[in-house]
């Protein structure tokens, strides 16, 4: 919490301007037992972001599906960081661990909160599906409403991400299969193993057909 002098210095305005803005309802203060004004710094940051676009930062968002992809996550962070540095962006990295089908990830929820609080100017991602696998258009529309740009560094397909897509699709199949045949863990595992074997067999058949052709 900041007193009125500290808050005015933070926003770069005079103390009388602080009082006027409060009277106009632009900012809010809290009163101590001695009736002195105190300002929440997070509230001031949000206010400054709304008033001054140059104060907004860039979020470099990175995601992998599983813990065994740590090296890939580190490469993503390095790529987006180098990109932001080259562009001269003031940025913060948010990283996530979880499927692109999972909307309940900590980093994604933080990102959405920052978009809605108008604290960021753009989002930088290495690949489009790093943001989210399905429902990208919803995030894109949300960004459009709050004037947040999305910059995708690479527009080509990546083998690692294709493999992740297979895992995500198998997860969906497993969930629906489990609902149909029961949700016991051993049954779910058996269903997933069967689905994976079917996929690999079909993939091998496809490769054989290509070789023979």
> Regarding the domain delimited by 56-152, which CATH topology (the fold level of the hierarchy) does it fall under?
Rossmann fold (3.40.50)
In which band, very low, low, confident or very high, does the pLDDT at 83 lie, cut at 50, 70 and 90?
very high
As a whole number of angstroms, the distance between CA 145 and CA 115 comes to 9
Q: Which of 51-65, 74-88, 92-106, 197-211 has the highest mean pLDDT?
A: 74-88
For the question of whether the overall pTM of this predicted structure is more than 0.75, the answer is: no
The residue from 8, 29, 65, 177 that is catalytic is: 65
| pLDDT the model gives residue 210 | 42
| pLDDT the model gives residue 212 | 47
Q: Record the tokens describing residue 81, joined without a space.
A: 């960081």
Q: Give the pairing type, strands 91-97 and 120-125.
A: unpaired
As a whole number of angstroms, the distance between CA 200 and CA 92 comes to 39
Rg (CA), the chain: 24
DSSP string, 81-136: HHHHHHHT--EEEEEEES-TT-S--HHHHHHHHHHHTT-EEEEEESSGGGT-SS-H
Asked if 4-51 and 56-152 have one fold, the answer is: no
Q: Record the tokens describing residue 141, joined without a space.
A: 């529309």
129-173 tens-digit pLDDT: 888 777 788 889 999 998 899 999 987 655 455 555 655 565 556
What number is the average pLDDT over the span 118-131? 87
* CA 132 distance to own-chain centroid: 8
As a whole number of angstroms, the distance between CA 84 and CA 77 comes to 11
In which band, very low, low, confident or very high, does the pLDDT at 116 lie, cut at 50, 70 and 90?
confident
| pLDDT the model gives residue 206 | 42
pLDDT tops 90 at residue 79? yes
Q: Are 45 and 52 in contact (CB under 8 A)?
A: no
Phi, psi (degrees; rounded to nearest 5) at 149:
-90, 150
87-115 tens-digit pLDDT: 999 899 999 988 766 678 899 999 998 88
What ranges do the domains of the chain cover? 4-51, 56-152, 159-212
The answer to whether the Cα torsion of 73, 77, 78, 80 is positive or negative is: positive
Residue 31 burial (CB count, 10 A): 9
Please tell me the CATH code under which domain 4-51 is placed: 1.10.1660.10
- Name the percent of the chain lying above pLDDT 90: 23
As a whole number of angstroms, the distance between CA 197 and CA 204 comes to 11
32-55 tens-digit pLDDT: 888 888 998 888 877 876 766 666
The verdict on whether 65 is a catalytic residue reads yes
As a whole number of angstroms, the distance between CA 144 and CA 2 comes to 33
Q: Which residue has the higher pLDDT, 202 or 49?
A: 49
């Amino acid at each position: 919490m900041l007193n009125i002098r500290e808050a005015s210095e933070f926003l770069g305005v005079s103390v009388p301007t602080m009082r006027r803005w409060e009277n106009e309802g632009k900012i809010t203060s809290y009163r101590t037992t001695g009736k002195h004004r105190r300002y929440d710094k997070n509230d001031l940051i949000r206010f400054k972001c709304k008033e001054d676009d140059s104060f907004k930062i860039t979020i470099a968002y990175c995601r992998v599906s599983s813990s065994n992809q740590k090296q890939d996550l580190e490469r993503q962070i390095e790529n987006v960081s180098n990109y932001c540095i080259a562009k001269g962006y003031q940025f913060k990295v948010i990283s996530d661990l979880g499927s692109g089908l999972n909307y309940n990830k900590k980093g994604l929820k933080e990102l959405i909160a920052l978009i809605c609080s108008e604290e960021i100017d753009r989002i930088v991602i290495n690949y489009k599906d790093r943001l989210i696998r399905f429902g990208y258009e919803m995030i894109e529309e949300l960004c459009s409403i709050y004037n947040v740009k999305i910059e995708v560094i690479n527009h080509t397909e990546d083998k690692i991400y294709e493999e992740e897509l297979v895992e995500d699709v198998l997860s969906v199949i497993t969930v629906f299969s489990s609902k149909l045949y029961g949700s016991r863990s051993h049954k779910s595992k058996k269903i997933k193993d069967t689905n994976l074997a079917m996929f690999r067999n079909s993939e091998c058949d496809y490769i054989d057909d290509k070789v023979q052709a």
